[in-house]
Structure 1
């Protein structure tokens, strides 16, 4: 059964986006004229802090309450009713946690049917990748290189515009095991780093990793060796193992509380290695795209912008190092680098609504089928 289509796209239209792929319930309303009319996120960090990571069942149960609350708050913030909404956007096929996804998807379908609105499905990572088209005064130019860094993904994607509002995604590098966000989270747990208020383990580790000239342990820890140096691929599982080994050299009994000086020094070494690994792959991808080296393309691609997005793109150290790297590659002018605002790097519904706007524009207002299957995995390279 297909949802209806927008009758015309001449005026700015408004899309209600719903996001529930992991641990935050979110709803937002975005207009096709690039205006965020409302953006609500119901956090769950207080629920998951005790387990050191997302508890799938608790997250799903929390979404059952959080999604309706977020939708109501978004409509109130925008001072709108459903008659003012033109379409609904959700994530029908992930990627994300199946149970969590299903809460948002079922809510979106019910709203679309009850209010006779078009429903469009978007890809979670596609939404992250295209956020700067919403937020930047001068949006990035295509073709662009996306560094997608989150709790579930670490990949480099070449994004090209095949026609207005229609995009093609080519995966250049993916993770061979863990994502960078997952590595941050698990390393924070290994180092017994307490969560900051309203923050998850990744931002808490970043806070612990701040340089401290009084910390005498840092210089005793050698830089962590980076994995797969000659491959255009990511690998973060080994870094966690190195953290355990190096920490155990300084404090053998990891079952006891780790001294804060050791945890802070180790967090800094881990963050340096994790970010440098990502930087190396960005450089490698740009070289290959430009036709450099033995693996360079025979049909070179001139990348016009670099976009870093996803939850880990909030990390200030990553932002600084990536800016430095691109400035060194292109002295003087520099390759344009874009980050979404921090509030739109972590999971949010504004990016879902905006991706829905773009899909509707590319499809002349046509909605999707209402019975699209819910899948927790959906390769971005197959996005239609």
Structure 2
């Protein structure tokens, strides 16, 4: 089955072709970072308009790279939510229109299921069941995964997600947009011994997370440095290092707790924040100590991309799922609402 995947949930247009027998054939991605940098964040209207401009040329380019024709497609997968409603509807309407014109099935994919299953695109695939840490700009979740569509939410973020806290910290320190990568880049120059930031909610039972307090602690530390006439680039680097270490430690503590609670020893880490070097190392070390396994998507599939949507959609299409002509986009959507699939 040859599936076209379309991702347009926020500020990146991703297109991919996935073959049920031969795997990923080609993928293309256009990022809107430069478009939104002027505003310091994503402007939904501009995002939707840019998806409209980019989506058809990217589909054509992906088909050409894979040496396939549009008539070769046997199914289309598109991100149906969660995300920005205008951006979602752009991808959904193109996908549904193409499917109708080609008389092939189309299926709406949960954006976070795409991230969760992204490591399945690698040679070393995780086996079910496993614990998944989903960390992105809008989500920080710990999930027990017993199969595709068999998800149980164990822990969620109560306020700012980890990625959101990274971006807000960058804004507080005037590091530019997008903030997360800038914080991580500057943290490499930081002194890990200078500041000790709190590890939020690790002294409480349960697996829920909170990063808003850590962001406030960062702000207060920076303000104190300014009062002491120590608002230097090195001080910023030291703050970034302390912040990043606090987030990584917190996630590792919560993941260890989840693995012990569920009696599992396989950990999948995905979402945009899973590209962070400190977080990867911390969680890899955790699993080495436990003699377990840690799985990550390759760096290019950590952030939003069409490959993860093509893969997730292909699994559901091959199981017989498809949407009718009355498609919809869902800005808020729980993973636990998804139907399980069996092969």
TM-score under structure 1 normalisation? 0.84
Q: Corresponding residue for 1:349?
A: 306
Distance in 2 (alpha carbons) for counterparts of 1:345 and 1:171? 20
Distance in 2 (alpha carbons) for counterparts of 1:318 and 1:154? 13
Cα distance change on mapping 1:375 and 1:71 into 2, 3 Å: same
Shift of 1:201: 1.8
Are positions 1:226 and 2:200 aligned together? yes
Contact 1:227 / 1:238 at 8 angstroms: preserved in 2? no
Distance in 2 (alpha carbons) for counterparts of 1:220 and 1:276? 17
Q: Deviations over 1:295-346 (max 9, x none)?
A: xxxxxxxx25211000111111111000111122x2xxx2111101000111
Q: Corresponding residue for 1:70?
A: 58
Are positions 1:282 and 2:255 aligned together? yes
Question: Structure 1 unaligned runs (5+)?
Answer: 1-12, 291-302
Give secondary structure in 1 for the equivalent of 2:38. helix
Q: Corresponding residue for 1:159?
A: 145
TM-score under structure 2 normalisation? 0.94
Moved over 3 A (4+): none
Contact 2:96 / 2:327 at 8 angstroms: preserved in 1? no
Are positions 1:202 and 2:180 aligned together? yes
Shift of 1:34: 4.8
Structural RMSD (CA): 1.9
The 5-angstrom pairing of residues 14-93 of structure 1 reads 14-92=2-80
Question: Structure 2 unaligned runs (5+)?
Answer: none
Cα distance change on mapping 1:22 and 1:252 into 2, 3 Å: farther
Q: Deviations over 1:82-110 (max 9, x none)?
A: 11111100022x01111111111111111
Q: Corresponding residue for 1:178?
A: 160
Are positions 1:100 and 2:87 aligned together? yes
Shift of 1:259: 2.7
Question: Greater Rg, structure 1 or structure 2?
Answer: 1
Distance in 2 (alpha carbons) for counterparts of 1:377 and 1:258? 40
Cα distance change on mapping 1:100 and 1:252 into 2, 3 Å: farther
Cα distance change on mapping 1:176 and 1:28 into 2, 3 Å: same
Shift of 1:225: 4.4
Q: Deviations over 1:39-87 (max 9, x none)?
A: 1001111111122221212211111112222212111211221111111
Are positions 1:236 and 2:236 aligned together? no
- Greater shift, 370-379 or 309-318, is seen at 370-379
Cα distance change on mapping 1:361 and 1:253 into 2, 3 Å: farther
Give secondary structure in 1 for the equivalent of 2:149. strand
Give secondary structure in 2 for the equivalent of 1:122. strand
Distance in 1 (alpha carbons) for counterparts of 2:196 and 2:276? 23
